[in-house]
Amino acid sequence: MKRLISLTRLILLISLFHHITISLFAEDWIVPPDKAEKTAPFVFSKESVEKGAELFVKNCQSCHGDPTRGNFAKLDPTPEDPASEKFKELTDGEMFYKITNGRGTMPQFKMILSEDDRWDLISYIRSFHSGYIQPEPELTSMTGAGERASMTILFDSLSKMVTISVYTVKNDMKSPVKGAEVLFFVKRYFGNLSLGDAVRTNEEGIISYPFPDGIAGDSTGQLTLIAQLNESSGYGNAKKAILVPLGVPTEWISLTAPRAMWNINFKAPVWLILSYSLTVLGVLLALVYIMLQIRKIFYLGSAVDDAKSDKP
């Protein structure tokens, strides 16, 4: 019985391993059907191609080379030329999935490029595929969703309130967007500080944002507040920043100002400078003393010689 169990385990293990190797290293990179059907949320245009070209140089060119020239990097599996037939055969959704998730040496761009950026990239790649016809842009079920909304941000210095207004423009008509999610951040040295969960717009497409207490600002309390549409709510990713005096006035001491072990030579800790210099000085003085003693031996010897030569 025991033997049977261990045999079953072994078979299971082998099949599992087989499965893993197949799914990891198989030539084909299979995209789930629902993802493969995904389409862009906007119509590819000259602008989107131009934007995509710029993104391609920064993010893709080092491995995929210049499209149509086949000068991609020699990696295994080969990155291939984006203008090639292999790329042309992919659906937009498949391409989006692969850029988003990556695999093996192909990096994941989920956190690096926004969804719009990724679609711009695809529109650039498609510009090399003759005979490509873009499928109808995908529209979500929400009213107005799929359109790229715009945003204004205002600060009223009397009431100390930040007001966000989200709207779409069609035929020069502004219509407010209800239920759009807006994320708030404060600009910091390294990246942005998130101020918590997204806030939804009301019926009029407006958010009266209660800025939280206790956020550090500059010496006068100024800080940069950033509001950004949450892309997943389907209205694009419009972003606005505003300088507001809502922070706690804070004196920022430069990280490199105080003396520290990791600072430059002239800002070394005093105890270190003292102990190093005094130790070196002490040892050197001792050595100089020894040298002088050797000189003294010489003089003493000379004195003996002189005494001898004085005596007849």
Partner 1 sequence: MQNSYDQVALDLFRPVRLNRSHLIWLGILTIALFLCLYAYSIQLREGLGVAGVRDYVSWGMYISNFVFFVASSLIGMLISAVLGLIGMKWIRPLTRIAEIIALAFAAVAGLVIISDMGRPERLPYLFLHGRIQSPILWDVTVVTTYVLISALLLYLPLIPDLAIGKKILNKPKFLVKLYEILSVKWRGTKAQWEIIHRSMRILLILIIPVALAIHTVTSWLFASTPRVGWNSTIFGPYFVSGAFVAGIACVIIAMYFFRKNYHLEKYITELHFNNMAKLLVLVSLVYLYFNINEFLVPGYKLEHGDAIHLKDIFIGHNAGLFWFAQLFGIIIPIILLLFRQMRKPFPMLILAILIFFASWIKRYIIVVPTQEHPFLPIQHVPANFLIYKPTLIEIAITLASFILVLMIITVLSKLFPVIPVWEMQEEFELKEKGNQS
Instruction: Give the residues lining the site for partner 1 (CB under 8 A).
Output: 261-265, 268-269, 272-273, 276, 280, 283, 286-287, 289-290, 293-298, 300-302, 304-305
Q: Which is nearer to partner 1, 84 or 263 (CB)?
A: 263
Given a contact cutoff of 8 angstroms between Cβ atoms, the answer to whether 184 and 153 are in contact is: no
H-helix or E-strand spanning residue 186: strand 181-187
Q: What is the smallest separation between the CB atom of 73 and partner 1, expressed in angstroms?
A: 9
Place of tokens 């190093």: 276
Q: Which is nearer to partner 1, 77 or 137 (CB)?
A: 77
Q: What is the smallest separation between the CB atom of 70 and partner 1, expressed in angstroms?
A: 20
Distance in angstroms (rounded) separating the CA atoms of residues 67 and 79: 12
What is the chain's percent helix, strand, coil content, to nearest 5?
Answer: 40, 15, 45
Identify the three-state secondary structure at position 275: helix
Q: Which is nearer to partner 1, 132 or 298 (CB)?
A: 298
Given a contact cutoff of 8 angstroms between Cβ atoms, the answer to whether 225 and 241 are in contact is: yes
Q: Which is nearer to partner 1, 257 or 283 (CB)?
A: 283
- Look at residues 67, 117, 69 and name the one whose alpha carbon lies nearest to residue 87: 67
Place of tokens 């055969």: 89
Q: Which is nearer to partner 1, 10 or 73 (CB)?
A: 73
CA distances from 170 to 144, 167, 173, 175, 197 (A): 10, 10, 5, 8, 30
